[in-house]
Structures are given as C-alpha cells and as structure tokens.
Structure 1
C-alpha cells in the first residue's frame, strides 16, 4: 500500500508591510506557487487585503500541512483565513511590530499537479501614508518572488484619488471601475521588488518656528538663524518673521540665514511662520552653488571608509549597502550622541538617522560624488517603520547627492529605506520630507530650527498640514538708497527667481533673492551718476569751445565798424 509522506511547508511573509519567502524545508521544484494579492484602499488610506496563494504539487507524495504567515505590522485586524474554501482558525502570535499566523492545512490536495488554495483576509492602516491630498502606498516585495510561477498585484483605489504621479513598477493594466467609482492598477511579475505608488503632486505644510537668541558678551554682536530654505523639492512661503531681520542672505549650500543685531547681554525670541510646499521630485529652482567634496568634523575618512568607497563607487550601491548593513537603534533614539561616519562604520548596530546620513555623505565624497546632509522634519504616522530622531523637537536627517548626468541634486533617505525593509527612498522621495538646513560646507552648521534654546520654553516647532491653497505670489520689492549704493530689497513672501525688475526705467536681472534679501545696484548707480555729471561736463565743454568763437566774432565785428 502506498504511504503518503507529509511535509511541513513554511512560507514566511514579512515587509515594510509584507514579504513572502519560501522555507528551506523543501526544494522550490517540489511546488509551483501562484500569488494573487489584492489591495483595496478607501479615502482615508485604510486597506482591505486579500492574499490568494495557490500551491501546486510537483510530486505525488509531497503536500503541505502548515502555512506560516508573518506580517511585519501589528496594525492588522479582522483576520480571516480559509483553506480549500473552508474557514480555519489560525494561531496568532504578536510581538512588537510583528504578527505571525500559523495556518493548519487539514485537507490538502494530494497528488501530482493538485492544488491547495489558501486565502487570507485582513485590514490594515499601515500600507498608506496620507498627507493632505497626496497618498504614498507601499506594497509588499517578495524575497522569493522571482521563483513564483505567477505573481500578481492589484491595487484598487477610489476614483477621486489624485492622479498617479509615480510608480516604481510600470502597471501592466489600468482600469476605471465605473460601477464602484474606483480605479484599478494591475502589476504582473516583479514579485521580488517593492511597489511604491504616489498619488498627487505636492503637499503643503504650515510651519511655526521659535528661535531663542542671547548675546552673552558685553558688546553689540551680529548673529544669524537658519530658516527653512528653497530646495529642488521644497518651495517656501514666508508669512511672517518677527522681529524683522537686518537681511536674509543665502550661503553657498542654499541656506537662508536671517541676521540680527543684538545689544550687549540682550535676549530675543524670533518667531517665523511659513508654509512649505513639498514635491516628490526635484522640480523647483535650486539656489545652492556649492559642490562639496571635502572632509568635515563628522565626515572624516579613514582607510576603512576609503576601501569601502572604492568597492561601492555609485550612490545606489552606497544606499543599498547602508540599508542592508546598518541597524536602526530604537532604544537610543532620544538620548543618542552623534557618532560621525568613522564610528558609524565601526558600530553599525548603533545607528539612527544621523549615522545613515553621515556615512552616505562621507562614502559618496570619497568616491568623488558631491553630497550633503539634510536636516529637517519628516511627517510620519508610523514611528516603527519611519522613525525620527527626537532631541528637544522632532528632527530627521537624510541626504542628497549631485547627479552630474541630470545636473540636479537628488534627495534620498537611507534610514527609512532600512526601517521599512525596502520601501522606495532612492529613486523617488515622498511628500513627507521637509528641509530646515542643508549641510555641505560644514557637517554641523548652520543649526536647524529646534536647536536655538537658551531657556526652557515650549515646543519650538509646530507643523501642521495646510488645507487651504496658497496665493500666487508676485515679486514685491522696494529700492533703498544709501551712501554705498542703491539696493533692491525683496519685500514679498517668496524668493524672486530669474526675474527682470524695472528700477527707474532700467531693467535689472535678479537670479535669486530671498525675502528680506538685498541686491546691490552698483552698476546702475554708477551709470546714473555718470549720466548726471556727463550732462554738466558736456555743457562745460560746449562753453569752452563756443565762447572763444563768440569773443572772436564780437571783436571782428568791432573792427569792421
């Protein structure tokens, strides 16, 4: 009598959100697997998920008896499981950020080419990030997806979602479901790739910042604070800055530095109210002019860093190395001391966002790729997958590198690429990253908002998602006349960019001028002064030439008489 051999089959699923992986208990050739994954989102970004998994026996005496499903999210609810259309009860284990289902298979299909069908349903709130009118959806990759016979993902969204602005994988089919007012995107293959979808073009935040200034000397002093600047991904609208600064200057890294004069021992609190519009690709004008490659306090290079940079060579390889080899230290997030690149490489398990950023910048520069660290705020509804460093106020560090082929600075976030287990933060950033400062020439200056504290005060940062549209701002300016020359002063709410301004019937080209910025009109003043005095000079010259002629004629006329 023929005896069936039972095989304990394990398929592990983990993610940013979800990852499938075949167990090593059996060879891949013993089963063919077909995956169909359906994600139906609602207006709030909540999702109903259905995983249909088909196991096909390639041998007559081997069949599955248990299916293990591990979901890298504790935000899973309303779990329903069926095997061969019969409801079964799965054993559920929950740990921090992880839900594991042990699914018994009591009635497997037996025999070669026979199919065992499993279906898992649940709801989750962690697959989507909704910011304003934009949505970022992150769908699972599969570690063994390239070995699946068939792998299909279908994403269903409400029809009033914004238009799809980015997809990390090109959809094979797009369909409008008129009956349910929905849109459907179908993706075939690429089971080992993360699928990231962006809907919408930009998100706008209202930002209120406080800066505490103190002159500790007995003489008057000038100091400066860093305001959130324009970047390729960020457009700034300055509603109010009180008290008003002497001026705002732009440093070579593109930072906005507002300058103030403080009396001896004076304390002053500066309040800034701004709106920042953030996009997921580099669309805006970049005021920076530096291409930093040098070392700095936290970007020192030793032999180990130089050897590693020689192996990696490209920004993508560096990014992949960091996301795979550094580990985020959640236990030290609030009291963390910045390590710098050298120690980050030596202590890969003690990293938070600054270590990911510092090591990326240092390795890139060691490979002759200009790179900077970006310090700011990152909007996140999930601190496990998208953590922020918290020191007094919430700040987050990420990075940017210069792509010489595109002639653009490209922002990336290796920290979140690691903590989400492979979500897309290299090819395309999201709508969640705000920049307060860009560190290029120095690794720790200028200080970002949230760092200007002299006394214990309330929260220095207040950031909310803006609901109203911003007004279109036209250039506003005035002309200030001084003994050192004439100046155009930007009195508007946004930077003046690539604009011809008319001053006293003369056009003046302004490449970039932030609010409260000053543009000197030396050449125009000199021209005007020359024009003014040249008229007097010409009159004098005419007098010198003509007067002798007149005198001669008078004299000649007298002789005739």
Structure 2
C-alpha cells in the first residue's frame, strides 16, 4: 500500500466588497501533492444574508472530494482581503471545527482544522464555515449596492450555488450585472440565486431600490477673447433610456437647447466680443431601472441608418485594422470583449502624478499587450473591437460620484487631460432597442463586474464617436470648483409641464386655412416622443391628421402646422377643433370652437377671389376692346 502523504492546503475563497483581491495560498509537504487541481474537487453552496445595516452573515457549505490515494487535506484556509471579518465559526460531521483568524494589513486569514480529514480515493468531506462580513452592502444615495466577487481556488469546482438574501427594506431589485437563475420575492426577503456560470465572471454586483437621484451644479466660465461675438455649445445631462433629467435653474438662460445627432443636449450661449460670462446650471438626474415600467424620455431615438456611425472607424478607434478585426472574430460578443480588455491589460497608476499621457489609440494598445492603459485607452480598445464585431458602440464622458479614487480612477485624456470627468462606453442592444453601460476601466481596477445593468453612480454628459464634442467640455475642467455632483434623496417631480394653444386662421368655405398647434415646455424636463392627433367638426385636414413628435426638450417651444378646409358655400357653420397630445408621460387635450364663413360672405378671402375674377375678366375682354378701337 503506498505511503499516504499529507497535504496542508489553504484553499482561497473570497466574498467581500468590490475592492477585494483574492489571495490564493497553499502549503504542500510533498512535491507529489503540489498540484491541488488534480488531487481534489469541490462543490460550494454559499449564502449571503444581508442585514439591514449592510453587514452580511455568510454561510459557506463546502464539499471536498479526494481524487488521490496518496494525499489528504486536514486544514482549510480562507483569505478575505478585508479587515472587517468577525465571528468566525465552523463545523463538520464530527462537531465544531477549531477555527482561528488573523489580520494581515487589510486582509483576514481564516484557518479551519477539519475534524474529519479527507483521506482515501473518492472520499468526500462536507463542512461549513460561518462568519460576518461588516459593510458588504453600502447605501449610495437611494440605492443599496452589494458586490460579491468570484471565488479563486486551486481545486476543480464541479458545482457552485450562490444565494444572496436581502431584506425587503432594501427595496426592489434595481439591476444585476448577471441575470440570476432564480428570483424569490417574499414578504420579508428577496433571494437571488446564481449557479456555476458566475465563475466565468468577476462576480456579481446587485443594486436594490426604486431609483437613484444625483444632483449637479455647474459654474462654467465662458470667455470670448475674440473681436466678434462667439457661440459656446455647452453639453448638459441628456435624457436616455435610464436617465431622466430635471433642469432646475439656468443663469443666464441659453439662447436655445437642442439635440444633436449623437443624442446630446447642448445649451447654446452667445458671448459678446471680449467678454466673460459664468453659466450656472443646476439640476437633478433620476436613474431608473429600464425594466421597472417607469418611462424615460429617451432623448434621441436612433434609426438603423443613424446607428451606422457607431459601427464605423473614428480617430483612435481603428476598426478596419487586421489586428482589431482578428480580435473581434475571436471574441465574438461584448462580454468576451469586456473580459479580454479588463483581464489582459493593466491600468497606468502613474496618472496619479502625471496627467499628460498621450492618447495612443486601439491599434497601438492591442499591438503591445504589456501596455499600461489610461481610462481613455481602455475605452478606445473596447470600442474598436466591439464596433469591429458589428455592435454599435458609443463613448460616454460624464460625472461620477466616487469616494474611492484608487479603485475607481477618473481621467479623460487629450485634449482635456482632466480627472474631473470619467469615460466609459455604451453598447446598443438591437433586440431591446436600448443602450447599456460598460466600464472597462473600473472592471479592471475595482475587481467587480462593470458590464451591463444600469450604473447608478454617474451622469452621462457627452456621447461621442471618440473625439466629437470634446472641445465643448473644456469649461468643465478650468476651475476646481466648476462642477459639483452628489446623491440626493429629496423628492422631486420629474413630470413635464406642457401648455398648448390653438391658432386657426378664419376658415372660409372652399378655402384652405392654416391651423397651428403651439406647444411650450415650461419646465426643465423633456416630454418624451408623443403623437399629436387632430379631430375636426365641419372641417377636414388636408393630409394626415396625426403627427409623431420627437421629444420636446426643456423650455422648448414648437409650432406644428396643419392645413384644413370645409364649410358651406351659402351659409355660416359652427365648427370645432379638438387636439390631443398623447405620450407615455402625459396626455393633453384642448378644443376650440370656430366659425366657418360661407363662400359668399364678405372677408379677405372672398375679396381676394373677387379681385382675381375681375382681373381674369378684364384680361379676357381688354384685348378685344383695344382691337375694335
């Protein structure tokens, strides 16, 4: 019988906050027993029970199976890269397991000595570890956020189940970066269950709550040094599928607010020659769950033709280059592209002291996998490969509410060179017809999954192909106190206030008349795209009686024109105009009585008609009169 060889293995299993790093540790007393992945397999059944204060009671049931007749396990180790582990205990089939723990810097190492050692080929031992992880869930504004990183262990994992149980006081499920296999919503708890697929990711991030609110306050210096007046186009937060904007104050009022081809809201200010103004813009952004049933304005709706620009090559995004095309064919979908970008490259920590790093572009990065990347580099590379794979992808520059600059760095490269702003990407889902967020930089630095779902810690400010509109953000970077953002819990009404007026030329039987519907948005909230319907009594519309309207932007005024005709040639009639504006956010109705003059009444149209007839008659008889003379 071969001699048994003892293995002392510390298998690392990590459940902690987003900033945790897995530290696998192993001690082996024989070279023959060094390949743990070939000697043991395991199954995991793990439950995180979140408490109302954000702590998590962790129960970890583990089954270890021996695949060797020469080696066995007597101790199990758990390294949690957090100093907030408390109340550690364990048990196996023979009773209580002796456990110990010690802190090393920001980590906690838990050692469990098994009563029932895993001895013998095919032998399995089941044991349970329990501990409390302080502050696993944190409340950010109105949203509870919990990040459960993936496990890292040296043995083969044959089955894995993760349950996250949250109290109902956390609210509804807002978003998850991985779709759970099962959801159970009870009276007191909500349970999400995940399976082995989670091992292929960086873990799962779950948000609870109904919506998030972020306030913003901009004081932007606009200086015109030219001899002539100059127009400044200032990006302001725009409405998207998940972001609803309320502009509370704008001093001075811009000349106009308009929507560009990328979906940006731009406020246009005119500054006189050799003058300076400070544009003060204050408001709120409400971030909603796109599956909640609440409707966002969506700003711009993109057609297939308009989406093409987000699949094309642009500066620093070399879509057609062979190296980029090869990666796109190899990786196939956005999740694999995300994993490649976040796991292959490293963030350049030198940005903490030097902001002047040039923007090199996706081709240069993929050609050198030892490259250290900025946030802009991560975004350029992801954008290039994603577009090469045929997926519409746009870059986003915005503002984040981040308290951890080390794990969640902010930076936008040339021409801005600033840490005041952050950049990420959005990919268009053709099936859902929505954009979803991807942050490849934080996916690399924060040890958490920043793919998909709705990010609740940021405001989208500018959408771009890669360089479009960057110069318009310069005013956001000039002064350290130009921009203020933070969470807000004060209740606000995000319902637009729209007034409607009907202006109809005096209709006359037989003559077309102009009908104008005048809409005015009197609040800093956009009205989502809607339908305008016209119903008439004793009148008819020349052409279509219904028009589809694009979103009515904050403080926008718009006139919609129709042509109508009708009436009685020999007598006056009473008519009525009924107008109905129907949208997902609001329905407005208005009607107006009108008098329709007969053809033979005395009015401008009739006088004009008589004049025309007289001229025609004179034109017909005048030549004959002059010939007779």
TM-score scaled by length of structure 2: 0.72
Higher relative contact order (CA 8 A, sep 6+): 1
Distance, in Å, in 1 between the alignment partners of 2:396 and 2:446 is 20
Give 1:40-119 correspondences, 5 Å limit: 40-57=49-66, 59=68, 62-71=71-80, 73-78=81-86, 80=88, 82=90, 85-94=96-105, 99=107, 101=109, 103=111, 105=113, 109=117, 111-112=119-120, 113=123, 115=125, 117=127, 119=129
1:124 aligns to 2:149 (yes or no): no
Structure 1: which 5+ residue stretches go unaligned? 526-530, 550-561
Task: Give the 3-state SS of the residue equivalent to 1:459 in structure 2.
Answer: coil
- Measured in 1, the distance between the counterparts of 2:616 and 2:439 equals 82
Q: Any idea what SS the aligned residue of 2:397 has?
A: strand
CA-to-partner distance for each residue in 1:180-233, whole Å, 9 max, x for gaps? x54444545546253333323421111111211000101112222111111122
Q: Are 2:365 and 1:344 aligned?
A: yes
Quote the Cα distance in structure 2 between the aligned partners of 1:445 and 1:296. Answer: 13
Matches within 5 A, 1:261-300: 261-281=270-290, 284=296, 285-287=298-300, 289=302, 290-291=306-307, 292=309, 293-300=311-318
> Which residue is 1:491 aligned to?
522
Match of 2:342 in 1: 323
Identify if the C-alpha distance between structure 1 residues 419 and 174 changes in structure 2 by more than 3 Å, giving closer, same or farther: same
C-alpha change, 1:401 and 1:188, in structure 2 (3 Å) is closer
Q: Cα–Cα, structure 1 residues 175 and 27, in superposed 2: closer, same or farther, change >3 Å?
A: same
Cα distance in 1 for partners of 2:226, 2:300 equals 34
Question: Of 420, 428, 446, which aligns to 1:394?
Answer: 420
Q: Which residue of 2 aligns with 1:234?
A: 243
Instruction: Give 1:433's aligned residue.
Output: 458
> How far apart in 1 are the matches of 2:83 and 2:348?
22
Match of 1:538 among 606, 621, 624: 606
For residue 243 of structure 1, report the CA deviation from its aligned partner. 0.4
Supply the distance in 1 between the matched residues of 2:616 and 2:376 (Cα, whole angstroms).
82
What SS is found at the alignment partner of 1:236? strand
> Superposition pairs for residues 469-484 of structure 1, below 5 Å?
469-476=491-498
Partners of 1:428 and 1:316 in 2: CA distance = 13
Tell me the distance in 2 between the aligned counterparts of 1:333 and 1:363: 28
Q: Over residues 429-481 of structure 1, what are the superposed CA-to-partner deviations in whole Å (9 max), with x where a residue is unaligned?
A: 332232011113x5241456574455xx4512211222122214233358899
State the Cα deviation string for residues 364-419 of structure 1 (Å, max 9, x = none): 33334322101112334444443333865532211112233333333222222223
Aligned to 2:231: 222
Stretches of structure 2 lacking an aligned partner (at least 5 in a row):
27-32, 504-515, 537-544, 565-595, 618-629
Confirm or deny: 8 A CA contact 1:204 1:276 kept in the other structure: yes
Q: Is the Cα–Cα contact under 8 Å of residues 135 and 198 in structure 1 kept in the other structure?
A: yes
Deviation at 1:338, TM superposition (A): 4.8
How far is the alpha carbon of 1:255 from its aligned partner?
A: 0.7
Aligned partner of 2:437 among 411, 414, 428: 411
Superposed CA offset, 1:316-348 (max 9, x none): 332222122121223324633352323333455
3-state SS in 2 of match to 1:253 = coil
2:180 is equivalent to residue 170 of structure 1: yes
Tell me what 2:481 maps to: 459
In structure 2, relative to structure 1, the CA distance for the partners of 1:226 and 1:512 (3 Å cut) is: same
| Residue aligned with 1:151, SS | strand
Q: C-alpha separation between the residues in 1 aligned to 2:474 and 2:258? A: 20
- In terms of mean alpha carbon deviation, does 55-64 or 227-236 score higher? 55-64
TM-score (norm 1): 0.80
> 1:265/1:30 Cα in 2 relative to 1: closer, same or farther (>3 Å)?
same
Partners of 1:539 and 1:309 lie apart in 2 by 72
* Segment drifting more, 346-355 vs 210-219: 346-355
Q: 1:75 to 1:517 in 2, by over 3 A?
A: farther
User: Mean Cα displacement is larger for which, 354-363 or 313-322?
Assistant: 313-322
Distance 2:456 2:561 in 1: 42
Q: Contact (CA 8 Å) 1:66, 1:102: kept in 2 or not?
A: no
SS in structure 1 of the partner of residue 206 of structure 2: strand
Determine helix, strand or coil for the equivalent of 1:319.
helix
Secondary structure at the residue paired with 1:139?
A: strand
Deviation at 1:26, TM superposition (A): 3.7
Give the Cα separation in 2 of the matches to 1:366 and 1:460. 37
Contact 1:129 1:135 in 2 (8 A): yes
Distance in 1, matches of 2:546 and 2:523, equals 19
Deviation at 1:12, TM superposition (A): 2.6
Partner of 1:558: none
Picking from 328, 333, 336, the partner of 1:309 is 328
Q: Report the CA distance shift for 1:394/1:83 in structure 2 as closer, same or farther (over 3 A).
A: farther
* 1:377 corresponds to 2:399: yes
Is the Cα–Cα contact under 8 Å of residues 333 and 352 in structure 1 kept in the other structure?
no
Distance between the aligned counterparts of 2:194 and 2:615, measured in 1? 93
Deviates more, 1:206-215 or 1:323-332: 323-332
